[in-house]
Amino acid sequence: MREPMPDTLVRLARPGDFGPAVLEATGGNPSWWRTVLENESNRRTARIAAGTTLPMADGRVLVLLHITAMRQDDQIFPTLVHELVHAVQMSRPRTAADALARNRHHLGIERQSRRWLADHSASIGRDEEEAYRIEHLLAS
């Protein structure tokens, strides 16, 4: 990875903080129904995820760490490394814009085609693989 680290905010969060953070990072005005659905989806994700990385509309990156999901102290460093790798990935061309577009799509603010969503899902998989590889190298 030779990309620069963008301005990054790291927050400790509970599952209920994930949904509002996505709304804050995305910008725009989703309908109340989409907001409720997305908040619940993010709350369910937060129960199993130790963290998430979100591009913000202003160009910064927000890293949320679900601190209570990390039961042992030895989980904190690998999770932080993993999420910071995602933060660096956001400085790549189109990565942050595409992630923001995906979030805006799920909130009903801006529509994306099924093909675009499938392509973006594949790129998320590649980014996850890279993050796990680097996490393993640095945190093992």
pLDDT digits (tens, 9 = 90+) for 130-140: 999 999 998 87
Across residues 75-84, what is the average pLDDT?
A: 91
The pLDDT value recorded for residue 41 is 80
Confidence band (pLDDT; 50, 70, 90) for 76? confident
User: If 0-12 CB within 10 Å is exposed, 13-18 middle and 19+ buried, where does residue 114 land?
Assistant: exposed
Write the pLDDT tens digit of every residue in 85-119.
999 999 998 999 999 999 888 888 889 999 999 99
The pLDDT value recorded for residue 15 is 80
Listing DSSP states for 79-137 in one string gives HHHHHHHHHHHTTSTTHHHHHHHHHHHHTTSS---HHHHHHHHHHHHHHHHHHHHHHHH
Query: Is it the case that residue 8 has pLDDT exceeding 80?
Result: yes
Write the pLDDT tens digit of every residue in 41-68.
877 777 778 889 999 989 999 999 988 8
